[in-house]
Amino acid sequence: MRQIGRVSLRDLLYILFRDKWRIVVVVMTAFVAACIYLAFEHTIYVAESRVLIRVGKEKLSGIEPYAKDSYNILFQERGQDIHNGIELLRDESLAHAVFDKLRPYLQPEAPPEGGFARLKYEAKKMWASVKETLYAPMYWFGFKTRFSDEENMVRALRGSLAVEAIEDTDILRVSFGWTDPQFAALALNTFTSEFVAKHIRVHGNATSEQFYIDQIAQKRKSLDEAEAELTMFRTEHNIGNLPLQKELLLKDITELEARLREVTLQHEEYLALLAGVDRSLKAGEEWLQTPDFDQRTTLDLSSLDKQYYELVAQRSLLATTYAKDSRELVSVRERIASLREQKGASLITFFRLNSQAIGQQKASLEQKLQALNQRLTEYNQIGLQLAELERQQNVNEQSYLAYRKKAEELRISDELNAQKISGVRVISEARPPVEPSSPRRLLILGIAVLVGLFLGIGYSAISEYFDDTFRGADDVKRILGTELMLTVPKFEPRER
């Protein structure tokens, strides 16, 4: 093995010049191999078409009147529409439908005329037989599945189709590659037309119009029954405007409660006055003062008070002349006691009569209040029943309107389907391509030359690395570290 510490440009040029023919042979071998590959490789022509996925009837039929700030809800679904279109184009059932349309154009290829073309045909046929023989054990052991000729052709059609979305647009770029440019354009146009038809079928309405007609009649009947029941309920309970009636009733209850509180206070006041007078009569002999109350003006006891004060003055006058137990003073005291009893009886009678009258008024107000509260309770119960009836009417009305709307959408959708109107448009049909898309011959040949150069130079470099032959005095000095003592020239043997 050569111990090379440093490789100079001279060494590299020496290696390339020494092995130039070897490198040329390797490059030519790679070039010829690439030419043979290109000679037997199928020439693929790619036809292209563009399909626009826009908002169609299948989306607009379900869009409600959005608020101005909610328009972006619709545009958030555009990416989903694009992906749905891509999946429909890649669907296997679509490939089967295209195969049925293209079946007359997919007949077995006849052997070509001409020497080289016939040679290519026979070579490909033989290679197919070899591949079938090599794959046979894999079929036997279940590593591969054997498909029918029709299934293989469908798989070939699907494999030749390519779909991609153009960024920032609603357009799909659809391409189809085949060896025949006319067939490539025909197959791609068949794919796009079948895609449009399938898009209409997928987004079509599976429900019949008669179903919605029956549902509309049923919902109309339910709505009429709910309205009739609501009207009967209002008439039976004499309900015009229930909230207003409840408001007026609450106002009456509030006023009645205020009046009842006032009457209750008056009743309690008279009972307290009655008890006070009774206690005063039993407590001693002092003169009863007329209490201060609201209806004092209706009770006039001033004459009794006047007689009392006159008797008191007379008693004082007689007390200076007569003895305490004299008949005159006793008579005056008896008259004072009689006046006191008379005033107490008058007060008791007045307070008792007024308390009884106010008690009856209080009882009447309580009965009225109880009746109003009972009526309010009935209004609340009626309100619940009325709310339930109104809710049922609203539900039936919304359901009825929803079915009418769906029926109209179905009618419009059926008309659009009949005219084959959809949200999908083929904006450019495929045309037979003029130039092949693959194989890229110049690129393959260039790569083959570069690979040949790489292999040739690599082989020369490796062989040089493992070569331990000294090429000159410089190699001896550099590698062994000593001077060259003797050089023996190479002599060609002479002929005798």
According to the 3-state scheme, what is the secondary structure of the chain?
A: CCCCCCCCHHHHHHHHHHCHHHHHHHHHHHHHHHHHHHHHCCCEEEEEEEEEECCCHHHHCCCCCCCHHHCHHHHCCHHHHHHHHHHHHHCHHHHHHHHHHHHHHCCCCCCCCCHHHHHHHHHHHHHHHHHHHHHHHHHHCCCCCCCCHHHHHHHHHHHHEEEEECCCCCEEEEEEEECCHHHHHHHHHHHHHHHHHHHHHHCCCCCCHHHHHHHHHHHHHHHHHHHHHHHHHHHHCCCCCHHHHHHHHHHHHHHHHHHHHHHHHHHHHHHHHHHHHHHHHHHCCCCCCCCCCCCHHHCCCHHHHHHHHHHHHHHHHHHCCCCCCCHHHHHHHHHHHHHHHHHHHHHHHHHHHHHHHHHHHHHHHHHHHHHHHHHHHHHHHHHHHHHHHHHHHHHHHHHHHHHHHHHHHHHHHHHHHHCCCCCEEEEECCCCCCCCCECCHHHHHHHHHHHHHHHHHHHHHHHHHCCCCCCCHHHHHHHHCCCCCCCCCCCCCCCC
187 vs 114: CA distance, rounded Å: 28
92 vs 154: CA distance, rounded Å: 8
- Which pLDDT score, from 0 to 100, does residue 62 have? 44
C-alpha 252: how far from chain center:
51
- Which pLDDT score, from 0 to 100, does residue 174 have? 93
- Which pLDDT score, from 0 to 100, does residue 70 have? 44
452 vs 444: CA distance, rounded Å: 12
Query: What would the two tokens of residue 395 be?
Result: 């539900």
Query: What would the two tokens of residue 306 be?
Result: 């006047």
- Give me the phi and psi of 328, to 5 degrees please: -65, -45
120 vs 113: CA distance, rounded Å: 11
Query: What would the two tokens of residue 57 be?
Result: 């009837």
Give the CA count within 13 Å in the CB-facing half-sphere of 396: 20
- Which pLDDT score, from 0 to 100, does residue 370 have? 92
- Which pLDDT score, from 0 to 100, does residue 436 have? 85
- Which pLDDT score, from 0 to 100, does residue 118 have? 67
- The count of other CB atoms within 10 Å of the CB of residue 374 is 10
pTM over 0.85: no
- Give me the phi and psi of 489, to 5 degrees please: -70, 155
Query: What would the two tokens of residue 293 be?
Result: 């109350």
What residues have CB less than 8 Å from 301, skipping those under 6 apart?
A: 290, 343, 346, 347
Rounded to the nearest 10 degrees, how much is the dihedral formed by the CA atoms of 211, 213, 215, 217? -150
Q: Is the peptide bond before 137 cis (omega within 30 degrees of 0)?
A: no
Angle between helix axes 209-236 and 327-418 (nearest 10 degrees) is 170
Q: Kindly report the CA angle at 46 between 40 and 51, in degrees rounded to 5?
A: 160
Q: What are the residue ranges in the chain where pLDDT is below 70?
A: 1-8, 10-11, 55-79, 109-118, 120-121, 204-209, 293-298, 410-423, 467-476, 478-479, 481, 484-486, 488, 490-496
- Which pLDDT score, from 0 to 100, does residue 438 have? 79
- Which pLDDT score, from 0 to 100, does residue 385 have? 86
- Which pLDDT score, from 0 to 100, does residue 121 have? 67
- Which pLDDT score, from 0 to 100, does residue 367 have? 93
Query: What would the two tokens of residue 186 be?
Result: 């025909």
CA nearest to 338, candidates 311, 378, 302? 311
C-alpha 15: how far from chain center:
72
Rama region for 238: left / alpha / beta (φ>0; ψ in -120 to 50; rest):
left
Contact 45, 181 (CB under 8 A): yes
CA nearest to 209, candidates 411, 403, 416? 411
